[in-house]
Amino acid sequence: MNIELRGITKRFGSLVANRDVNMDIRAGQVLGLLGENGAGKSTLMNVLCGLYRPNEGQILIDGKPVAFDGPGDAIAAGIGMVHQHFMLIPVFTVAENVVLGVEPTGPLDHLDLKKAREQVREINDTYGLEVDPDALIETLPVGIQQRVEIIKVLFRSAEVVIFDEPTAVLTPQEVEDFFKIVRGLRDDGKAIVFITHKLNEIIEIADRISVLRGGEIVGGGDPSEMTEAELAEMMVGRPVSFAVDKTPARPGEPLLEVRDLVVLRDNDDIAVNHVSMTIHRGEVVGIAGVQGNGQTPLVEALTGLRQVAGGEVRFKGEDITHAGARKRHQLGFAHIPEDRQRTGLVPAFSIAENMVLDCYYDDRFSRGPNMLWKVVNETAARNAAEFDVRAPSVFEAVRKLSGGNQQKVIVARELSRDTEMLIAAQPTRGLDVGSIEYIHGRIMHARDEGDGVLIVSSELDEILALSDRILVMFEGRIVAEFDGATAEKSKVGLAMAGAVA
């Protein structure tokens, strides 16, 4: 089945989300759709899935124009989408989730799960998905859950499968397996749309590429004839430097010393198991690891947000094992938290208010019981300008900013102060290339000023690009250490999977 989009324009009020977009989706091919956050990828795909009706243009399926009145029409026409955020019910089995909404029923509304299981097995065998139809969703790892989503789409006889940022939640190994599945689907004659902002992946998997910027198609072609740099420039609209501008580290004296640290989860499971490490001035230490191996509790413990169960933490020789978040902050800790929407920012507050979220009590910003909002606003405006936060005004609610600009607000707040120790968790997750480049530059700048930097990221590429030293965390322990300059991606990846080198 082939789909053509012809001159699709979608407006929301005065905002044009897609302008005159033409695109071919062909059976047996993977079309890579590349674009920054906010470039109009999601709107375009929602048009294709029948959620939005375009203001202009038409959709042709095998040459015949169609009009979708809702998602149901698109599904009936054989278009299926695997969303970035899975829509699965955790307490249901795989088979139950797959048939949800199109349950095969017998007389008296009897749910024929046996038939459902058979069909799931059939799809399993055809594409080598290896999913147990009777497993509960909540017991499955993220990579397998994604396959359940794929089965769901195939179960509804989709001929066109759209993947929205499918690799954002996967480990490097899972990505490899996932690519195999995508190729299998393609070879079976399905038409695939692969939406991403990761350049290396799109070059690896796509047969053709279309690049979307500002709602318009700005280029595309055959990936074998294109370089990452060309694609990135197309996507961002200006040349982008990939290699983090990194001078050799000149590590100074030990800054943060962690000895035998033990941290428990909320349910008293051991999350961090006797971890020791030292971070020096002027170096970046990267912690690599698949999510859920204790990185989050480790960062929480180091930033004073989680009680330490054992061991000690020293900062410039001083014992801060049980110091609270504010105390550490005053000592010169900067913390870019993992979850920027929940923890790092108050989405309903203005940029200015967020810019002083953890230093509002400072003498600069308050006198007696009163906040000095004029000073806060001016400082926020200065910081926002300096750190490239793109917003109409500092009174704008942070909620309305893009993810990249939100993260820049946090970075501006944390690094505009005189800091000594930067702890950054997933600092660029979900951000576009331009913002990633900028934030990486700021982190290296902090290092070069003599700060100690600890980076935690599940993006191995990011760890490799930034770190002077790499520690690999697995099941709560540090299982391997690599030199940043010489580390090989494959070896780090193996250590992340628990195969101790």
Partner 1 sequence: MTYQDPTGKLSEKLLDRAAPDRAAFEDLVIVPLFAVVVALILGALTMLATNVDLATIGKSYVALLNGSVGSLNAISETLTAAAPLTLAGLGLALGFRAGLFNIGAEGQILVGGMATVIVGFSFPGMPAAIHLPLALLAGAVAGGLYASIAGWLRAATGAHEVISTIMLNLISYRLIDYMLRLPFIQREGRADPVSKSVLESAELPRLLSFIDPNLRVHAGIFLMFAAVAAVYWLLFRTRLGFEFRTSGESPDAARYAGMRAGLLIVLVMGLAGALAGLAGANQVLGVLGRATPGFSAGIGFDAISVALLGRSHPIGVLLAGLLFGALEAGGRQMQVDAGVSIDLIGIIQALIIVFIAAPLLVRALFPWGFSKLTKTSKE
Site mask for partner 1 (CB under 8 A), range 395-424, x = bound: xx----------------------------
Q: Is 353 in the site for partner 1 (CB under 8 A)?
A: yes
The binder of partner 1 chosen from 27, 51, 168, 494 (CB under 8 A): 51
Distance CA 432, CA 38 (A): 9
DSSP for residue 105: B
The binder of partner 1 chosen from 38, 343, 403, 450 (CB under 8 A): 343
Closest to 166 in 3D by CA, of 211, 206, 126, 134: 206
Q: Is 9 in the site for partner 1 (CB under 8 A)?
A: no
The binder of partner 1 chosen from 155, 315, 387, 474 (CB under 8 A): 387
Q: Is 41 in the site for partner 1 (CB under 8 A)?
A: no
Buried b (16+ CB within 10 A) or exposed e, 382-395: ebbeebbbebeebe
Q: What share of the chain is helix, strand, coil (3-state, %, to 5)?
A: 35, 25, 40
Q: Is 305 in the site for partner 1 (CB under 8 A)?
A: yes
Q: Is 371 in the site for partner 1 (CB under 8 A)?
A: yes
DSSP for residue 87: -
Strand order in the sheet with 15-25: 15-25, 3-12, 56-61, 64-66
Neighbours of 159 (CB within 10 A): 18
Buried b (16+ CB within 10 A) or exposed e, 295-325: bbbbbbbbbbbbebeebebbbbeeebbebee
Site mask for partner 1 (CB under 8 A), range 205-244, x = bound: ----------------------------------------
Kindly state the smallest distance separating residue 398's Cβ from partner 1, in Å. 11
Task: Pick the stretch among 27-35, 46-54, 125-133, 450-458 that binds partner 1 (CB under 8 A).
Answer: 46-54
Residue 69 makes CB contacts below 8 A (sequence gap 6+) with 50
- Give residues 53-72 in contact with partner 1 (rule: CB under 8 A): 53, 70
The binder of partner 1 chosen from 335, 440, 447, 469 (CB under 8 A): 335
Task: Pick the stretch among 225-233, 266-274, 346-354, 492-500 that binds partner 1 (CB under 8 A).
Answer: 346-354
The binder of partner 1 chosen from 66, 113, 240, 325 (CB under 8 A): 325
Q: Is 345 in the site for partner 1 (CB under 8 A)?
A: yes
The binder of partner 1 chosen from 384, 409, 424, 443 (CB under 8 A): 384
Neighbours of 63 (CB within 10 A): 7
User: To 5 degrees, how large is the angle CA 250–CA 239–CA 413?
Assistant: 55
Distance CA 417, CA 394 (A): 18
DSSP letters along 419-437, please? -SEEEEESTTTT--HHHHH
Task: Pick the stretch among 28-36, 215-223, 350-358, 451-459 that binds partner 1 (CB under 8 A).
Answer: 350-358
Q: Is 10 in the site for partner 1 (CB under 8 A)?
A: no
Strand duo 310-315 + 160-164: pairing = unpaired
Residue 382 carries which side chain, given as an amino acid letter?
R
Binding site for partner 1 (CB under 8 A): 12-13, 51-53, 70, 304-305, 324-327, 329, 335, 337, 339, 342-349, 353, 357-358, 360-361, 366, 369-371, 373, 377-378, 380-382, 384-388, 391-396, 438
